[in-house]
Each structure stands twice: as structure tokens, then as C-alpha cells.
Amino acid sequence: MKSAILPLYESSEKYLVKSKGCYLYDSEGKKYLDLEAGVWCANLGHSNPKITKVIKKEINTSIHHGYRFSNNYSEKLSSELQRIIGFKNGASVFLSSGSEAINLAITIARKITNRKKIIKISNSYLSAFGFGGISPDNNDLINVMYNDEKSIEAINFNEAAAFVLETGGASLEMVKFPNKIFVKKLVNTAKKNKTIIIADEVTTGMGRTGKWFGFQHYDIKPNMVVTGKGLGNGYPISGVTVDSKIAAAIRKNPIRYAQSHQNDPLGCAVGLEVIKTIEEENIINKSILIGNYFYDKLKFLKENNKDKIKEVRGRGLLLAVEFHKNVDGNLLNKMLFENGFVFGFKLNTIRLLPTLIITKKDIDKFIAKLTDLLKSL
């Protein structure tokens, strides 16, 4: 069938009709174990009943409103995010996608500092468009080579508005975690030069790495935290949360920025329910255990397939398995998908960011099939 959707990314010919928990169902009745939680969004499982209940209620109350009003949900979500980030007297703004939020955070940093340049680690992905765009012709973007402490010295931090830190890059190099000394040095250099530190927690946030936020593994304090993806569990909401100093600077010298879906009550109600559910159900602690279980199983597989598996990487439920060149990863990718497993594949590497509620039984099922298929490759 000829699709009426522009083919802007690679996709299969399958049509989805239902998503529930850790599973996706296509129009031919086939069931898939989703090891990517959508696009790493549905941390609490697809169509989570608590989130669905809030959406249904809020649809009948207020989805959206204009600039003449504020609403309680956005106020409360800002407070809750500040609490789990560790900010006091800060403030937030809510948008729809991670890309929008990253671009707004950068816009704010540029206005406050009156500087233009943006620094990021070379393998970080910031956004689909704009200042954070990864296009090489973005002259205002400075890349620090991943884990290369020496390259920090060559950068002129005092002309940089912001250092955008992603503490677990899942997109460009398929799950890499910058080391602590490198990140500390970057953060300290940025602080010394009054460069604003923006933690990009679009992917690493909301429990994905075994803490609320990825930066919390590094003993550092960002000035702004950008959230998205898991904040809405599949519903499109993102946020920029700033510390008290930045909030005060904006209150003193207001910046005008307005989008149609800014601070919409429905999205904020969803974000609040996500935080509440994670806490009530002790999801982060449980996901650490299940993440360790998954990682250990993959490590065991590597030990028994040293000639085929090059590396296993992981933190919490942000995992990857890289194969040696002699393994036909494209074929493995195709066969696993045919066997009902959905995951990321690039650079001869399988990427796994399942829902945080994945069970040992589902992990075992995947490991068994991967073990089996590896024998034939």
C-alpha cells in the first residue's frame, strides 16, 4: 500500500492498532514486546490506566486555554519538578516536545548571558531543529570530544551562553555515558566562566537511569533541567525548569516567548500523575533491580559469545549491546523484529530502553531468542 505519510524516517510496513503495558499489537493480530517504550516515552507502560484516567478526566474539564489564564496543574507540576530536581524558588515552563524545550532553554540562556555559543559533548543529541540542531553548519554549536578532558581546555567558555549536558546519549552513538571526571571538569569550567549549565534530561529523566535524573549520578548542580518524553508517558509534554537565580533574572527582565500549547492543563495534569505514580509504586527502585537483572543477563550472554558481542553498556534501563563486525547485525535486527521484539538498531548495536515496568519473564524471553539467533549467525 502506498502510504500518505511522508517517509521522513525508516519504518516497517506494519500498522499499529493497540499498545498496552510493554506490548504493541499490529493490524494482523501480531504482538510485539516493546523494548523501546515507544520513542523512550512510555516509562510506566503504554496506556497506563492511572495516566489514562487522568487524561479522560481532564478532557472533560479543560484541555487547553489562552494567555489570559494560568492553571493549578502547571503551578503544581513546576513545584513537583523542582522538588525532585532539588531546586527551590525556581520556575518552569511547559511545551510539547523535547526539541522545543531544549531550544527554549538555549534561547533563555542566550538572552540572560547575552552570549551566542552553545557547548555540548560530541555524541549528544539535543533536538530535531533549531539551535540544538545537529547540522554541521550550525556555527554557534561547539562540540567537546566525548570523554576527552584535554579538548575542554581548547574551548572558550566565556563566549558560551550554555553548556548542554546529556548524561546518557542514546541517539547518536547508541548509549554512551560520559565519565565523571570529564563531566565534573566541564561543569566546573562552565561555572567559572558563568556559562549556564542545562541538563538535557529528555531521555535520561523520569527514572530512566535508576535515579530521577541522569545528572544525579554525577554530583553536579545544573542551572536548568529540560524534561520531555517520560514526563508525559507518551502524551506530548516537555518542560524547562530553572533555578532561583535564572527565575529571578527573567522576572526582572522579562523574555517574551509564547506558543499555543504552553502550560496547557491537560499535559501538566499528566506530568503530575506520572510523578505521583512513580513515587506511589516505587518504580525507580524497582527499575534499578530489573535494570541490573537485564544488564547481568546481557553480560552473561557476552561472556558466552565473546567472538560475537563486543560490548554491553547500561545504566538503569538505558542499555545497549554492540556486536563485533563479523556479526550481521542487520539480519539479526530483521529476525528479532520478525520474532516480535521492538528495539533500536544502528552501528551494529541493539538499543534497549524498555518501559520501567518490564518483567523478568519478558527479559528472559528476549534473551532466549537473542541467544538462539546468535547461534545461527
- What is the distance, to the nearest Å, from the Cα of residue 297 to the centroid of all Cα atoms in its chain? 24
Distance CA 331, CA 246 (A): 50
Query: Taking a C-beta distance cutoff of 8 angstroms, is the pair 191, 197 a contact?
Result: yes
Q: Closer to ligand PLP at the Cβ: 41 or 332?
A: 41
Told to check if 99 binds ligand PLP by CB under 6 A, we report yes
| Per-position DSSP letters for 120-148, written without gaps between them | EETT----SSGGG---TT-TTEEEEPTT-
Q: Which positions from 111 to 140 touch ligand PLP by CB under 6 A, shown as an x/- string?
A: --------------xxxx------------
**Among 34, 58, 200, 243, which residue sits at the site for ligand PLP (rule: CB under 6 A)?**
200
Give the total of residues touching ligand PLP (CB under 6 A): 15
Residue 272: CB minimum distance to ligand PLP, A: 19
**Among 202, 274, 332, 370, which residue sits at the site for ligand PLP (rule: CB under 6 A)?**
202
Helix axis angle for 360-375 and 283-304, nearest 10°, is 20
In 139-193, at which residue ranges do the beta strands (DSSP E only) sit? 141-144, 160-165
**Among 45, 98, 314, 316, which residue sits at the site for ligand PLP (rule: CB under 6 A)?**
98
Distance CA 287, CA 43 (A): 10
**Among 102, 121, 187, 336, which residue sits at the site for ligand PLP (rule: CB under 6 A)?**
102
Residue 19: CB minimum distance to ligand PLP, A: 18
Q: Closer to ligand PLP at the Cβ: 38 or 329?
A: 38
Which residues, 225 to 284, sit near ligand PLP by CB under 6 A? 228
Residue 174: CB minimum distance to ligand PLP, A: 12
Distance CA 110, CA 160 (A): 8
Query: Taking a C-beta distance cutoff of 8 angstroms, is the pair 302, 331 a contact?
Result: no
Residues that bind ligand PLP (CB under 6 A): 97-99, 102, 125-128, 166, 170-171, 200, 202-203, 228
